[in-house]
Amino acid sequence: MSNGVKSNMNSDQLINVVIVDTGQLADVVLSTADGGNLLSRGLRGLASERYPDVELSVSTIPSAGFAALRRELDSGDSSLIASSPDIVVLTVADEVSRFYDRGQPSLESIQEIETDLRAIISAIKSKVGAHILVSSISTLDPADMMYTLHGQSEEPFTLQAQRLNLMLVGLSHEEGISIIDVDRIIAEVGGGESVTGPGRYNEKGAVAVLEEIVRILDDYGFMDDRPLMAQIGAAGGKK
């Protein structure tokens, strides 16, 4: 992320936020009235309460993961692009399944996931110029409190989640995208009190993640009349 300027986002404009949802993410941003399952006040309601002059449109697009989304973007017939988003929110949560589905060594799986995500970021930036946020994943698995890898036939969820989160850190530096640091957020509010399963959070965890999303959008300048901060990575990629 950089201090480069993209454009002004005036308070009377509608800010279009599109969530590419693979499950839990919709419950973090949508109120129960809007289709979520956890929160009485979602992203739209929280932003409206704190920034009365700001109007967000928040919608979700179902996704089968990064590989499928990349194919959709490459096809030229993408519901994500057609929605003309100002902000796109993605998550690595569903990518854990790729370790199991293909039976590949972890490093090879991570490389494929990173390649797909990098292509997605490039397509979104070039086609609609939206700001991109990617959610990491809590590394806590309440059903498997791992202390050693001895005797494990495959990597546990905790280690795979760590690999995904680490990959995101490098990609964020190179591409300028923002990370919603769910692992840190959940640790701060107490994983034992907010995690219900691998990549699954209760109301307490969802509220904490939602607060972080609003904070990031505010930092970029979406919540007032400041010029928007651009997303520029070390490789010079700018949107």
How confident is residue 21, by pLDDT bands cut at 50, 70 and 90? confident
Contacts of 194 (CB under 8 A, 6+ apart): 186, 201, 202, 204, 205, 208
Task: Kindly report, residue by residue over 185-227, the tens digit of the pLDDT.
Answer: 999 999 999 999 988 999 999 999 999 999 999 999 999 888 8
For 14, phi and psi rounded to 5 degrees?
Answer: -85, 125
Q: List CB contacts of 68: < 8 A, sequence separation 6 or more.
A: none
The two three-digit tokens of residue 180, written as one number:
């919603």
- Please write the tens of the pLDDT for every residue from 45-93: 999 999 999 999 999 998 889 999 999 999 989 999 999 999 999 999 9
Percent of residues, the chain, with pLDDT higher than 90 = 68
Range of weakest confidence among 14-28, 162-176, 190-204: 14-28
Closest by Cα among 120, 151, 147, 150 to 133: 120
Q: What are phi and psi of 16, to 5 degrees?
A: -95, 110
Q: What angle do CA 17, 184, 115 make, to 5 degrees?
A: 60
* pLDDT recorded at residue 103: 65
Q: What is the mean pLDDT of residues 111-126?
A: 96
Eight-state DSSP code of residue 177: P
The pTM of the full predicted model, rounded to 2 decimals, is 0.88
